Structure formats: structure tokens, C-alpha cells
Structure 1
Amino acid sequence: MKCYNLTKMTWEEVESALETVQLAVVPVGAHEQHGPHMTESCDAVLAEKMAERLGDRMFPYVLITPTISMGVSPHHLNFPGTISLQPDTLIAILRDVVSSLQHHGIKKFLFLNAHGGNMATLNTASALLSKEFEVEVYYAKTTAAAKESIKSYISSPLFGHSCEREVSEALYLAPELVRKDKITKGEIQIEGRWRQLRPGGAIQGFYRYEEMTKNGCIGNAMEASREIGEKIVEEALNRLTEELLELLDLERVNINELNF
């Protein structure tokens, strides 16, 4: 994989890369429970793997930063091992990343996020940091753009956490995250106020994950497969690449010159 990744480069290599780099991709994840069948580093690892593949496709215009491996996860805290940042802590970390890389001449940033609980904070960070440093800060959920594949292959009415979608992505990108002998369905709590407070409802608000699921996962991971993961990931990468080419005004670049 050909990719400018700060964690694997010397300062001289970075200096050379900055002659073409136009965008820094910041992988953002979380450290939280993912049910009986996924490790707690899941979101951080998937964010990093997606960022590397995006960097490979958009070489030499994109630089990948170190992964922010913890996120805003208070709703998972009653499951052992979860570590949650306060929203202002995450914003402070992102501020320092943007400030440092702006010092090196980078003016455009993408927070590539693998944890839904970070999205509201990233929205705020994007607005604050764009104004504060006079740069362009964007954010995206890793595979949210794969709408057709998700519609075709994901059947659970409730999915999004250690479900058939996320487990499939992991089987394709990082199979070591999955305990294959433990894969199970979410043990959904039939009753509870969580049903009213889910995203997309008329009223939204905080609820703890155990109010919704006894075992910490939702959906039906037993339907997951590497093949589904490949469909979702590649569709998402195609769409992200197309959007970034437009934002960076690189639409006239010969696509054959990219790893698209």
C-alpha cells in the first residue's frame, strides 16, 4: 500500500511529501465495548485502516496522521473496559493536531470517524477549528457513504454497533478484531425509553447502551461476511475519493494516476 502515513515516516520524508500533500486525514475512533465478539479497539482500528486505504487511493495528495484512539463514549461506560473522553477533551486534541499541521503548511483536514458517538463533537470541532485557524476542516463517518451496499446487504432494522455491518467491515479490513467463535445477535431490550431517543426520532437524548441491549451489540452479526464488508468498504472509499477530489479541485487529475 502506497500511502503517506506520519507514523511510518522520517521528518525528511515528510518534508518531501509536503510538496504535494493538500489534505491531512485524521482517523478518529473510540475505545469501548463492542459486545462479546469484537475487541474494544474496533473503532480506532477501522478508522485507521480506512484512512490508510483512502491515503493509498489519493497518493500523493493526502497525509494520514496518527489515530485518535479514544472518543466520546459515555453511553458505553457501564460495560467493563470502556474509556470515554469528554467532548471538550476530544476537541482539544483535534485543535492541537490541526494547529501543529497548519504550522507545517497544511490547510485542509478530514476527520475520518468510525464511532457514531463522536459525530456531534466533530461537527462542533469542524466549525470551531475552521474559524480559529482559517483552514478547511471536514468530517465523515467511515462507511456512511456506502448507502447502496448497506441497503442491499444489511437487513436488521436496528444496526450500527457490533452488528452485521460493522463485523463485516472488520472481517474485510482487520479480521483480528473479531472473535469468530463468539459471534452472536444483539440481545435487544424490548421495552425502554431508548426507542424514543434513537437518532432520527422526534426527540433525541442520552441513554445508556445497556438500556437497549443486554450484551452490548445490536443487529445480527451472524449474517456478517468478509464479502459484505468488501462491498461496503469499497463503495464508501469510492464515494469519499470522488468527494475529496472535488473539494481539493483535483477533478481533472487523471484517475489512472490514482489508486482508484
Structure 2
Amino acid sequence: MDMMTMNLSDFEEMQKTVNTVLLPIGMIEAHGPHCALGTDVLIPREFVRRLEEARGDRILMAPEVAYGHSWGLAPFPGTIDVSAEAFGNYVLEICRGFHQNGFTNIILFNGHGGNISSLDIVTEKLADLGVRTLTINWYIDYREDIKKIAPDPGHAGEDETSLVLAIDERYAFTEGVGSHEIPLAKRFRFKNGGIALYPEAFSGNAEAATAEKGEQLYRMMVDLVLQDIDTLWEIEQQLERG
């Protein structure tokens, strides 16, 4: 069910049977010379499209949060960085609004690594309000499975670039892009450190990406996401039984 296109009557009818909402969260930032700035929004959108086909009768698909926190990529043109505090508070207020509308299960489908620490705080606060949450960071949660299809993943690397190509080949290219390794452990922080961590604003072997790999990744991960959602509903049933 697509919240964006619902009217009031549709929403009120949906509230009678649905208590789970999925909020896509992304980022507008540099993704190398080869991937769209909106990569972290485009990929969650595609997941939502596929998940709606599978579970759209039980989940409200909310409009996305397109801007997030990206300290590391902030030095690169095209990155629109929101402070971690402002981002986290904004997402929390959105989720509170859904809770006030009767949603007790909230799925945060996060397409951007820089958002993770803020979302961890958000979900703790929501849990204290009695909201059950599931945060999906696909590039971390399913990394070992991803590497079976795209062995050299990264920021705009083989996995992300493949996923973008599978959406629309106009949004990414691979010819001559090459590959970058992250040359320094992320635990080191210094001004404009993201330039050192992400040469040309990407990591991984982007040149190895293909639309075919992207399609395989979507099919594989949609199944894993559905398993996680089913687990969330199982937790709900267990808690209700006491």
C-alpha cells in the first residue's frame, strides 16, 4: 500500500487492518564519478516496489526520507549533509507521528551507512515508547550473501553500482571506472578524512558491476528482507502472548 497516493478514506480503511509501516531512508551524496547522487534513495525505492508486491497487503509503504548524515562524503560536491542530531530528531518525529496513527511496527529501510548511528538512537527511543522496530541496512546485514554475487562490494562499488544498473542503466556506468580500496581504517578521524577514505568518492570494484548482478542481488535480498519482516511479526505475536 502506497501512502503517497492514498486519500483520507483509503488511509482510515487501511488503519483497521495494518499496524506495520516501512519508512525508506536514504541520502543525496557523491557516489563516485559513475553512480547517481541519489543512489541511496533509488535502491530503497526499488526494494519498496518489490516488497510491496510481496507484502503490500500488510505493510504501509511510507514516502522516503531523502536526506541524511554523511560526514565522510561531505567534502565531495553533490553531498547534502544533515547533522546527525537534526537527522535523528527528524526521523524520530516522523516515527512518533506513525505511532500516533496506530502503527506499532516500524521498519526503517536505510540505504546509507552514515545514518546508522543516528537510527540506533531513534530505535532505542521508539522501543521505550512501546514501538517494535526493524532496521535494515542491506549492505551490512546481508554482506556475506552479497559477496557471493558481487565479491568486491563498497560505497558505489560492485554491489551498489549493480543495483543501480538493474534499476536503469542511465543512472550508472562502469567503463573505465576501475576499483578503489579503502586505504585507512575508519576508526581514524581527521578533517576532510573522507577524501582519504574514499578516493574519487567510491570504494570497491565498480567496473565489475552489471545489471544482471543487480537483478540477482535484488531477488536474493528481497527474500532475506521478507524473512526479517516475518521475524518482526513473530516477535509481536510472542510479546502479545506474554
**Range into which the TM-score falls when normalised by the shorter chain:** 0.7 to 0.9
- 1:161 corresponds to: 155
Q: Could you say if the C-alpha distance between residues 144 and 105 of structure 1 is closer, same or farther in structure 2, counting changes exceeding 3 Å?
A: same
Residue identity matched to 1:118: N
Once residues 234 and 205 of structure 1 are traced to their aligned partners in structure 2, the CA distance between those partners, rounded to angstroms, is 36
My pick for the range that moved more, 76-85 or 13-22, is 13-22
- 1:59 aligned to which of 45, 56, 61: 56
User: Gaps (5+ residues) in structure 2?
Assistant: 238-242
- AA aligned opposite 1:73: S
User: 1:74 aligns to what SS in structure 2?
Assistant: coil
Displacement after TM superposition at 1:31 (Å) = 0.9
* C-alpha distance in 2 between matches for 1:188 and 1:144: 17
What's the counterpart of residue 172 of structure 1?
Answer: 166
Residue 96 (str. 1) matches residue 89 (str. 2): no
2:220 aligned residue: 235
The aligned residue for residue 141 of structure 1 is 137
Q: Distance in 2 between matches of 1:118 and 1:220?
A: 23
Superposition TM-score, scaled by structure 2 size: 0.88
Is the contact between residue 36 and residue 182 of structure 1 (CA under 8 Å) also seen in structure 2?
no
Greater per-residue helix proportion: 2
In 2, Cα distance between equivalents of 1:68 and 1:53: 18
Correspondence for 1:40 = 37
Check if 1:80 corresponds to 2:77: yes
- Cα deviation 1:65-115 (Å, max 9, x = unaligned): 111101110111111121111111111111221121112111110110011
2:111 to 90, 110, 114: 114
CA distance in 2, matches of 1:174, 1:110: 26
The question of whether the paired residues in 2 share the 8 Å contact of 1:31 and 1:82 is answered with yes
Q: Cα deviation per residue 1:181-212 (whole Å; 9 max; x = unaligned)?
A: 766124557xxxx52x23xxxxx243522102
Which stretch of structure 1 is more off in the superposition, 142-151 or 78-87?
Answer: 142-151
Partner of 2:46: 49
Q: How many residues align?
A: 235
Cα pair distance change 1:250/1:21, threshold 3 Å: farther
Q: Equivalent residue of 2:24, what SS?
A: strand
Give the structure 2 partner of residue 71 of structure 1.
68
Structural RMSD (CA): 2.3
CA contact (8 A) 1:5 1:52 kept: no
1:206 and 2:189 aligned: yes
CA shift in 2, pair 1:34/1:177, >3 Å: same
Identical-residue share of aligned pairs (%): 21
Unaligned residue ranges in structure 1 (runs of 5+): 199-203, 253-260
Q: Does 1:125 align with 2:122?
A: yes
Q: Given the superposition, is the C-alpha separation of residues 14 and 206 from structure 1 closer, same or farther in structure 2, using an over 3 Å criterion?
A: farther
**In 2, Cα distance between the equivalents of 1:11 and 1:26?**
19
**Distance verdict in 2 for CA 1:214–1:244, change over 3 Å:** closer
Could you tell me how far 1:240 is from its partner in structure 2? 1.2
- Partner residue of 2:146 out of 130, 150, 157: 150
CA distance in 2: counterparts of 1:230 and 1:146, whole angstroms: 15
How do residues 184-195 of structure 1 correspond to structure 2 at under 5 angstroms? 184-188=177-181, 195=184
